[in-house]
Amino acid sequence: MTDEELSALASRKKAGASKKKVDASDARDALIASAAEKAGMAVEEMKALVSKANGLGLSAKTFVKNEGWKMSQEELSSLVEILREKNRAQKLEKSLHVAAADLSSLVVKAANRFRIGKEDLAEILKDLIADQEKNKIAITDPRFLTRALGAYRNAKKQKNGFVPFKRIKENEELNYLIAKFASVMEISQQKLLYVGNALMGGNINIKNPIALSKAVAAAFKDAEVAVLDEIDDTPFNQGPCYRSAGAPGWTKEQYLARVVEVEKLGISQQRFDKIEGWDFTDDELLEFESLSKQMTQRWAATKDWCVNVVREKTGWNRDQAVAKMEEARRKGYPYSAFLSCALWKLSDEAFAAIPKRRPKPTSDTLITDEELEEIIADICKTMGWTRGQYRLDFMRKRVKFGTSPRDYSAMRLYEKTDEEISKFATFDHMCKMRLRYCDYMGDRKYFTRKTQFDAAFEPFLKRRWFTNVDLTFDQFVENVKGLDVVFYKPSDGACGRGVCKLPVETDEQRRAAFEHVSSAPVGVIEQELIQHPSISAIWNGCVNTLRIMTLVKDGEVHLLAGILRVGCEGVIDNIAHGGVGSSIDMETGICSTYPVDQWGHLFEVHPITKAPMKDFQIPNWDKVVSLVKEAAMVKPDMAYVGWDVTVTADGEPAIIEGNTDPAIWIIQIPWAVSENVGMENIFGPLVYDFDLED
């Protein structure tokens, strides 16, 4: 096509898209008018109700269909959660039909691990495919392949034939292969769910044991299934073994020789691979294994702690609590999930009706694989360690103090003695604070969805906001009237991910901004807040915020700790995204430490503007304190919250958002690095002190 023809085609597409949006706007207005007539109220009144429903994440069509004008805000919020869960289930069902071209490497590596020959493997694949077609099995576990192969191997040993896949899904003993898969491919664990079903999509050609990236790329792109009848003759054990590629420069012979040595220490090849044992000496391997066993004792202590929290909430004695929690555990709810899902609130009938559940994998931080690798490399360079020495020291701290990789790196715990670390609150404290003081099945939805948060805490926001649900261009223009800039924030975003700044001064900018937010996930569009001049003088590239942790206990709001977070790049001030922070004295509102970044690097002044941060006085600190105390009482069942607050140009504080999983390391890091002082004295008693009768 010529340039003119391409231009004409683009214009027609753009005109068609604009017409569709106009038609959608007309249809929405007609729908609202019809609903108003049905409800016997004015159209403008119905529009206001629909707008509030949009703020909760409910579309106009769904609102009208369910006669939302008859519902309270709580009932509407519950409806949103029900519909969202239904949508998730539908998406999962769709995900079970992903096609793949070549996933041979997964099968080969799993077969290597279980020492299964080619002929047996071919038989396994046929059985798996037949069983998939026969029983329409939903693959929801990324470790399914090794479970299948392991179960098949065990079945062959017992001469009982092939184990049905339904039983394989229930098998909790075989879990090995795909654990490292996500980091290799730089994908999330959730995406691995798609791989399982893709493997079942057709006859799979086994030809290249290291074709991992091509296999997954094909699966995620819905490629055509390549049906090949013959399995390649490449022996399974030629080339690098599954994990030996992780040992730079190792040949197959070197790897196998080392496996023989470690097996003499009582460590299997499977375990050696799993812990990447090539970075350890013999003594380090034995110590690492000993620490791994001690982690079991730590889990047991955590279970006892969960029992005490349940007793505190219910008044049950220990035997009653353990009996109920064990019953839930047999249904797939570990002790921590018993708390986070508030199962102790259920009646006996409701408790008996809860479905079986496969526990979800948990993550100790929002840290990415790339960030973790950067952390390990930085620490190894600083300390002159190998990766094995890093992992061994981290495991020591994890067993004794419950640290996470983020705690360990940010607060430079690798440089501290055990006595010094005992004064710090760690990831273990953070998890237990939220389990003990937050009702996750009640009001948490107001903090995890920005649409619902803005609706519930609107008096504290001090800014204009609206959602992109059923948003028309005319509505967008009306909402941004008089504004130069707006911010889009995804409703379920965290740590500033997905936030973007959009200019809306001109018609062209407003059109571009609308195109962006209308095609983005459900979220909120907010007016830009102009921060106080004294704060802007430190860094004016973004709105800098105060993170203030509060705890509602015995009907009173307690200020636990605070930090001034200042940006250094981009449009957000989050320390995890390049910002720096300085601790705040909660009595005076004065910054009491030098600024620190997420890697534990200390600066005497702001690293870019050179503005001093230590001894900086937060403007109108008394108003800030009053605001967060008032906000904390809006949803007191979420007793433990980290509030992000800014002080506006007119001196009035405004809440940006509330976080029910506030990272303690962010608050603690300036004290940890500059003064070698931790906050265990604050969080320790709140976590571990109980007043229970035996």
305-315 pLDDT per residue, tens: 999 999 999 99
CA distance 316 to 320: 6
Helices (H), 40-72: 43-55, 60-65
CA distance 459 to 38: 32
CA distance 441 to 457: 19
| pLDDT at 325 exceeding the cut of 80 | yes
Q: Over the range 500-520, which residues count as b (16 or more CB within 10 Å of their CB) and which as e?
A: bebebeeeeebeebbeebeee
The string of pLDDT tens digits covering residues 644-671 is 999 999 999 999 989 888 888 888 988 8
The string of pLDDT tens digits covering residues 583-613 is 999 999 999 999 998 878 889 999 999 999 9
The string of pLDDT tens digits covering residues 326-340 is 998 888 888 988 888
> 648 pairs with which residues across the strands?
531
For 28-37, 63-72, 191-200, 410-419, which range has the lowest pLDDT when averaged over its residues? 191-200
Count, residues in the chain: 694
CA distance 97 to 658: 38
Q: What is the pLDDT of residue 671?
A: 85
Q: What is the pLDDT of residue 29?
A: 82
How large is the average pLDDT for residues 67-90?
75
Other C-beta atoms within 10 Å of 674: how many? 19
The DSSP line for 78-146 is HHHHHHHHHHHHHHHHHHTT---S--HHHHHHHHHHHT--HHHHHHHHHHHHHHHHHHT-----TTHHH
Cβ contact 76:53 at 8 Å: yes
CA distance 32 to 50: 8
**Beta strands at 580-583 and 556-566: parallel, antiparallel or unpaired:** antiparallel
Q: Is 82 exposed, middle or buried (0-12, 13-18, 19+ CB in 10 A)?
A: exposed
Other C-beta atoms within 10 Å of 1: how many? 8
Diameter of the chain by CA atoms?
A: 85
User: What are the strands, taking DSSP E only, across 321-447?
Assistant: none
The DSSP line for 449-465 is -HHHHHHHTGGGT-S-E
Q: Which domains does the chain have, with CATH numbers?
A: 3-95 (no CATH), 104-237 (no CATH), 252-279 (no CATH), 283-353 (no CATH), 464-527 (3.30.1490.20), 533-686 (3.30.470.20)
The string of pLDDT tens digits covering residues 80-94 is 777 776 776 555 444
Q: What is the pLDDT of residue 205?
A: 32
Question: H or E element: which one contains 583?
Answer: strand 580-583
CA distance 408 to 331: 34
**Cβ-Cβ contacts under 8 Å for 177 (sequence gap 6 or more):** 106, 109, 110, 113, 143, 145, 146, 242
Q: Coil, strand or helix: which one is 651? A: coil
CA distance 192 to 189: 5
Q: Over the range 405-423, which residues count as b (16 or more CB within 10 Å of their CB) and which as e?
A: bbbbbbbbbbebeeeebeb
One-letter amino acid identity for 403?
A: T
The DSSP line for 29-41 is HHHHHHHHHHHTS
The string of pLDDT tens digits covering residues 130-140 is 554 443 333 33
The string of pLDDT tens digits covering residues 489-528 is 887 766 566 778 889 889 889 899 998 888 888 888 988 8
